[in-house]
């Protein structure tokens, strides 16, 4: 239930606005993939080890540090 509420909040707030919440929750691992072209994958702290892109992936992978974008 907590993860569902968090994912809903992040989607509603969007990438930039959700960063302030995520900074206060360092154990929350977030991979944010907006519906846009070219494809960008935003990996928040802790999420890098949970994500592996397909070798054919031609988008951009962006590591978002604790300081945000």
pLDDT band at residue 1 under the 50/70/90 scheme: low
Average pLDDT over the chain, rounded to whole? 87
What is this structure's pTM? Answer: 0.80
Look at residue 25 and tell me whether its pLDDT is greater than 80. Answer: yes
For 7-44, b where at least 16 C-beta lie within 10 A, e where not — what string? eeebeeeebeebbeebeeeeebbbebeeeeeeeebbbb
Query: Tens digit of pLDDT for each residue in 36-69?
Result: 899 999 998 888 888 999 999 999 999 987 666 6
- What is the rounded average pLDDT of the residues 6-13? 90
């Amino acid at each position: 239930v907590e993860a569902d509420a968090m994912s809903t909040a992040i989607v509603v707030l969007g990438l930039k606005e959700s960063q302030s919440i995520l900074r206060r929750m360092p154990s929350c691992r977030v991979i944010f993939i907006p519906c846009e072209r070219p494809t960008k994958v935003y990996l928040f702290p802790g999420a890098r080890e949970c994500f592996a892109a397909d070798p054919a992936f031609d988008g951009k992978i962006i590591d978002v540090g604790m300081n945000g974008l």
